[in-house]
Amino acid sequence: MVNPVIVSDLYPVNVGDQTVLIRQTALVGVDYVANSGQPISSVVQQTNPIDVIDLNQWLQQPIGQQANRLALFVVGQTAMGVVVDQLGDPISTALSLQPLPSLVSDSLLDPSILGIIMLDERPCLMLDLELFVLVHAKR
Partner 1 sequence: MSQVEDQLAQFVVFILDQERFALPVEQARGIERWRNPTRIPGTATAIMGIINQRGVLLTVVDMRVVLGMKPITPTRRSRFLLVHEQIDCAIAVDQVIDMLTLDVGLAEPTPHRGTVASRGLLPTPFGFATWLDLNALLGSING
Q: Does 109 bind partner 1 (CB under 8 A)?
A: yes
Nearest-approach distance from CB 34 to partner 1, in angstroms: 25
All residues at 6 or more sequence positions from 51 whose CB lies less than 8 Å from its CB, including other chains: 41, 42, 79, 80, 81, 137
- Nearest approach in angstroms of CB 38 to partner 1 is 19
Q: From residue 85, how far is each of 8, 99, 111, 117 by CA, in Å?
A: 22, 26, 23, 20
**Is residue 104 involved in binding partner 1 (CB under 8 A)?**
yes
User: Longest C-alpha distance within the chain, in Å?
Assistant: 52
| Interaction between residue 22 and partner 1 (CB under 8 A) | no
Q: Which residues bind partner 1 (CB under 8 A)?
A: 17-18, 58-61, 98, 100-104, 106-110, 113, 116, 118, 121-125
